[in-house]
Structure 1
Amino acid sequence: MRFRVRKFAHILERSGLALAGAACGVFVAAHVGSSVPLLTTQGFLVLMMLSGALGFYLGIDTPQLPFHPHDEASPEEPKIDTAEFLSAVGTFLATLTAFFAVAIIILREDPHIAWTSLIMLGWIIGVIMQIVAGAIARLRS
């Protein structure tokens, strides 16, 4: 019984993360779509939501490598956990760009297209980093 409750709680947590990622994707899509008329389609919005959901579901809460401080100089173990690093940077980048997109929408700003392109690029790179991190972590466990 305890295993089922833990499993259900974990699935509920991951689903919440996926919903947060989808919401971030909506905000980025709303900002980018309002600045680039070609990207005002429902397909673009759905793509951004799905990429955010997938990235946040896979990339957050990745299983970490065991930490052994006495084996720091061991040549067979990498010094940096690639999945953990990609997950952290990707999550930060994706949420930072979503934060900027929300701020631009709320403050009714009209930034230069270069800033909008940077937000879109940051979102794409961040979500890809999360997805790669999740894939690496799941392949090694």
Structure 2
Amino acid sequence: MRTRVRKIAHVLERLGLAMAGAANGLFVAALVGTSHSALTNQAFLLLMMIGGAIGFYLGIDTPPRPITASNGRPADDAWVGKIDTPELLSAIGTFLAAFSAFACVGVIVLRHDPHLAWIWMIMGGWVAGVAMQIIAGTIARLRR
């Protein structure tokens, strides 16, 4: 049974992850928006921030696969040796989203002007990463 303090700590942790995701989305939107004039608007910034917040809230710290036996394995050995898809999607998605945000901050701080293809690759990595996080978090929570 979880105590009230642990529940509050968990909620604060999740909100912190959501804020980090929103900040990362803001960095990516700022770089992409400055490179492509059609995406220089508040709706795009807000969409990227909301996507990042949802992705980091759901996709990081996914619930583990349920354990049914006392030895740590399910009674029917149904998933022994198999890949935990949400865990893999979460890991890859978190890496892609974080690396894209890191690249954006580097470009912004160092004042580089990368080719448009690099900007779209960063944007693609961000979108794919956040989508993987959202899918992983949803799958992990539905199987509870």
Shared fold (TM-score greater than 0.5)? yes
Q: Secondary structure at the match of 2:102?
A: helix
Q: Which is helix-richer, 1 or 2?
A: 1
Cross-structure match for 1:129:
132
1:82 corresponds to 2:82? no
The alpha-carbon deviation at position 77 of structure 1 amounts to 1.6
Question: What runs of 5+ residues in structure 1 fail to find an aligned partner?
Answer: none
1:138 corresponds to 2:119? no
Post-superposition Cα deviations, 1:19-72, rounded to whole Å, max 9, x if no partner, equal: 00000000000000000000000000000000000000000000122688988x
Query: TM-score w.r.t. structure 2 length?
Result: 0.90
Question: What runs of 5+ residues in structure 2 fail to find an aligned partner?
Answer: none
Query: C-alpha root-mean-square deviation of aligned residues, in Å?
Result: 1.8
Cross-structure match for 1:62:
62
For residues 10 and 16 of structure 2, the distance between their equivalents in structure 1, rounded to whole angstroms, comes to: 10
For residues 15 and 34 of structure 2, the distance between their equivalents in structure 1, rounded to whole angstroms, comes to: 28
Task: Give percent identity, aligned residues only.
Answer: 62
The alpha-carbon deviation at position 91 of structure 1 amounts to 0.3
Counterpart of 2:110 in structure 1: which amino acid? L
